[in-house]
A and B are shown apart, each in its own frame.
Chain A
Amino acid sequence: MTAVRLRPRSAITVGLVSVAGLAAFGWPLVVAPRAGLTQSGPASWLFVLLLPVLLLVALAEISEDGVDAKAVALLGVLGAIGAALRPLGTGVAGFEPMFFVLVHGGRVLGRGFGYLLGSVTMFASALLTAGVGPWLPFQILGAAWVGFFAGCLPRLGGRAEIAMLAGYGAVAAFIYGALQDLALWPFATGVSTSIAYVPGAAVTANLGRFVAFDLATSLGFNVPRAITTAVLVVVTGRPVLLALRRAARRAAFEAPVDFRRT
């Protein structure tokens, strides 16, 4: 079932934006010693300004041909559930109840829908809590990836499917957290502390420094987040998947609609 069709054009766009997004997350690991990016401090803000534009382009491209009223309504209500669940997570270490909605939504309604669902949920929750900050584009891209790859998982059924989704949820939540830390890294440590990135150093050396930074700061949040996501996916798995599948069947996304006059 695919609620949002990804044409080749949209797929290329999503791929290119993801490549630029990977650069936005991982540039401290690979940057050259006298690169254009590190010549002055302000340059590290480049991605904060660049990512929103690229995300808007990707979302516009996906929605240009293939988001009908049913998909928009489903996006809206599922995004509302995710956004409403999100404040529950604050205060508890790393608990992010939003992810299980993204995993189930992406799984049942396809990768294009998962991508849009991640973006809409993150953006709506940021607007609702008035938390639009420099972290938002990174969170949106991360959540969009979580939904997208949930839609790419292989075909399975029964308990095996729940187990696969739980494993995926744990891995995705952990990687999401690590990516957010990676985006935060250059801002949090500056350039001359001993856990900051070193322009021009080998990727492995920089990765070691990043792991040290992550251990010092937020690994204690990422691991519980992965575990709680997996537990929530297992607990809600069967009934939520069934409900979503029934809704998708009722909406009949793949039925051809033709208004030509005969």
Chain B
Amino acid sequence: MAGRASPVSTARRLHPGAWWLWALGLATAAIRTTSPLLLLLIMAVTGLVVAVRRTGDPWAGSYAVFLRLGIVVVIVRVVFWVVFAAQAPGPALFSLPSVTLPSWLAGTRIGGPVTADGLRAGLYDGLRLAAVLVCLGAANALASPSRLLKAVPGALYEMGVAVVVAMTFAPQAVTHVRRVRAAHRLRGRPDRGLRAVRGLVMPVIEGALERSVELAAAMDSRGYGRVSAISPVRRRATATLTIAGLLTVCVGLYGLLGQGVTAALGAPALVLGLAAATTGLWLGGRRSPRTRYRPDPWRWPEWLVSVCGLAAAAATAGGAPETGTPLLPAAALVLALAAALLSSPSVRREPA
């Protein structure tokens, strides 16, 4: 699509956050449904979008990895159902020889009759997990991780920098290991096996520590870590919100694990606690007054893609039936497909 665009507008990448919202919306739809038709449709939609919209970046191949993982999950779920489903109802298709494990393993029964209902339930459950994995694989393949890191909230600035440093240095560490190994080989020292590990690890770690000192000096000299003065009131408010929020989350979880009255109180407490903790996170981010270098814009294509993805999640809010044709969720999925395929944002440039 970019090729046919007019010379004054060049394609830009969609904001990685938009891809993640889109994929998470589809994943939520997959979690909520048990209809195999819908699950297959979701997988087809993500596959098509990845095939059309992916770039040549190294992470673009992760969709295939997640797809393979999804197939493994389906097989494992079905095998578990066949081997371990001791009390599945319905007429038996065939019967496996059965063993009962000792009582310290909860007296589990292995084998026994295999029913058609059990097989189908295992297959559908596995399919659901696979669909969720495939959605996340699509997000991994489409969204650039380094651009996503640029969008971390202010309170996590230091951690974001540390992860960026780690991602930058990891390939260098690998080349460093190769260099040290080559040097070992040239000197006739062992370069494989446990005996070589110490000889390999030490130069790599020493080199890395050396670089970290240089890096820290460079960061200090460029004014890293400057924080704006925060009033004690705001500081205390942040602390109170965070800790009270986390406490409420723990109470809410306790409620959700119980039953009766505590269970009814669990969900509201959880939501309230989460809201308080995230507000604390946001307030804490105000301490680092930073501007971003060339931030990724969030314009109508991003809105379109993310809203259509979330609409797919909303369309399955009632839970789709296992049989029949779920028209509304299917329509929402087609809409999500169209939005993801058609919204290719562009930057308008004045011709020279």
Contact = CB atoms under 8 A, between A and B. Distances in A.
Nearest to B220: A69
Interface in B144-175: 145, 149, 153, 155-159, 161-174
Instruction: Tell me what chain A mostly uses at the interface: helix, strand, loop, or mixed.
Output: helix
A68 B166 contact: no
Given A76-B166, A124-B163, A189 B266 contact: no
A32 B259 contact: yes
A224 to B, nearest CB: 14
A239 B255 CA distance: 49
B156 A60 contact: yes
Given A84-B173, A194-B85, A13 B246 contact: yes
Interface of A: 9, 12-13, 16-17, 19-20, 23, 27, 30-37, 40-42, 45-46, 50, 53-54, 56-57, 59-61, 63-64, 67-70, 72-81, 83-84, 116, 119-121, 123-125, 127-134, 187-190, 192-196, 205-206, 208-209, 211-212, 215-216, 231-232, 235-236, 239-240, 243-244, 246-247, 250-251
Interface of B: 31-32, 34, 58-59, 61-62, 65-66, 76-77, 80-81, 84-88, 101, 103-110, 121-122, 125, 129, 132-133, 136-137, 139-141, 145, 149, 153, 155-159, 161-174, 177, 194, 197-198, 201-202, 204-206, 208-209, 211-213, 215-216, 219-220, 224-225, 238-239, 242-243, 245-247, 249-250, 253-259, 263-264, 266-267, 270, 274, 277-278, 280-281, 284-285, 287, 319
Residue among B65, B212, B258, B274 with the highest chain A CB neighbour number at 10 A: B212
Contacts of A129: 62
A239 B202 contact: yes
16 contacts: A16-B247, A33-B259, A34-B259, A46-B256, A61-B284, A63-B156, A64-B287, A74-B212, A75-B165, A76-B166, A77-B212, A79-B166, A80-B208, A124-B163, A130-B65, A251-B216
A64 B284 CA distance: 8
A54 B277 contact: yes
B245 to A, nearest CB: 8
Contacts of A120: 159, 162-163, 166
A56 to B, nearest CB: 6
Which are the 10 A-B pairs with shortest beta-carbon distances? A76-B165, A208-B106, A80-B169, A79-B166, A130-B62, A124-B166, A130-B59, A60-B155, A194-B86, A16-B246
Contacts of A40: 319
